[in-house]
Amino acid sequence: MATALTRSPPTPRVAVLHQAIEPPIINGVRKPMKPGGYQDSGADIAYVLRESCKIPIATPQANLDPRKDEGWCFPDTEEGIVAAVKSGANCLWANTILFSNHPLQVSSQLDGYASHVKVVGQPPRLVEAYDDKNFVNAFLRKQSYFTMPKSFVAPNSSNIESLLKNHDLTLPVVAKPLRGRGSQGVKVCRTIQDLSSHIDSLGPSNAMLEEYLSGVEGTVTVMPPSDSKPDYWAMPVVVRFNHEDGIAPYNGVVAVTANSRVVPQEEANNDPAFDRVQRECEAVARMLKVKAPIRIDVRKCSEQAGATFLLFDVNMKPNMTAPGRPGREDQASLTALAAAGLGWTPADLLQNILETASTLKDLRNIELPIRE
């Protein structure tokens, strides 16, 4: 009796996409673009995939210089993505900001590739919804399982003292943009005058005011299911230090290797709060049905021993640098630090993320699992 032949999955040929499209205005707010459009981290990913993982990559240019960011990634325009798949890429690494009308979601030129081209990244429609910090936090706050800080959106600085009182918030408070990037625009405000000024600087209905948490800050990367791990799982917690006026500085200014460290397992075993927050973060990822790694920022409510971590920021696109290129040795990301706590190299991390890729068709068809 003849034995049925099984077909091995195709060898991945990866094209990394960088941000070339400015995100749209959503409810009056536009998420700011990153200078360079993530070409720096995109080049890191492509370089490590090629040199350390020995995975073929497609690039828009030949004769690449590992000391330069340019030429390693395709722009995330319709033309750029089509060029990537026509160059032989069967996996797109979406190192960019996605939204409902992004070409990955709506381009008819990609329809013929949607069933067999895979994507490392989130469903564009989910990103547009979840990039609104208040939308996600308000939903999670309604669930009894999650530990969230108090917060609300201030339409402007008028009657701000009354609004704080109505929402049971007292100074200092954190004020930040609804669709921010990193710690840009995030500020601890200690006086009404300072708070009013910062709210006005962020623009109408773009200021989310949040309870200030004074304890240890950490961040938890959650990986989505893959063939080797069929459920969501959290990497070790990375703690942050050397804050600037209560806020961890933007990693484009201060490398995370200078102000962050992974928590060793023996240290985590001495504080049940670490295990609890990892389980909470896994539950968040499971509830949101994310398809790629996310990173959730957490902070203890106080410096007292045994204090609880609260979840305050769900990041749909963790910064994903991968040290390896010359001159980029100190550019580990928070997720890379967490991976190192597992004994993973940058190449190990990228290969494990590559295993979580979904077909473009699946990403396009997913429905938003939560509503306001």
What is the Cα 258 distance to its own chain's centre? 20
**Segment 126-135, tens digit of pLDDT:** 999 999 999 9
What mean pLDDT is predicted for residues 249-273? 84
For residue range 63-89, what is the model confidence (pLDDT) as tens digits? 999 999 999 999 999 999 999 999 999
Q: Alpha carbon of 191 to those of 154, 185, 186, 208: distances in Å?
A: 16, 17, 15, 16
Dig out the tokens for 241 from the structure.
Answer: 């230090």
**Quick check: 4 pLDDT over 60?**
no
The CATH number that domain 214-343 falls under is 3.30.470.20
For residue 372, is pLDDT > 60?
no
**What span, in angstroms and rounded, lies between the C-alpha atoms of 84 and 117?**
11
Helices 346-354 and 334-341 meet at what angle, rounded to 10?
100
What is the pLDDT at residue 257? 76
Please, are residues 104 and 81 in contact by the beta-carbon 8 Å criterion? yes
- Which residues in the chain are classed under CATH 3.30.1490.20? 150-211
Residue 109 has pLDDT above 70, yes or no: yes
Q: At what angle do helices 272-288 and 133-142 cross, to 10 degrees?
A: 110
Q: Quote the tokens at residue 227.
A: 């063939």
Assign a CATH topology to domain 150-211.
Dna Ligase; domain 1 (3.30.1490)
Residue 1's pLDDT is 45
137-180 confidence digits (pLDDT tens): 999 998 888 999 999 999 999 999 999 999 999 999 999 999 98
Q: What is the mean pLDDT of the chain?
A: 92
Would you state the pLDDT for residue 243? 77
pLDDT of residue 252: 59
pLDDT of residue 302: 87
pLDDT score for 173: 97
Which residues belong to CATH 3.30.470.20 in the chain?
214-343
Strands (E), 99-149: 118-120
User: What is the pLDDT confidence band of residue 2, given thresholds at 50, 70 and 90?
Assistant: very low
Distance of CA 90 to CAs 30, 61, 93, 154, Å? 31, 18, 10, 45
pLDDT at 251: 59
Helix (H) or strand (E) holding 263: none
Are 299 and 218 within 8 A, CB to CB? yes
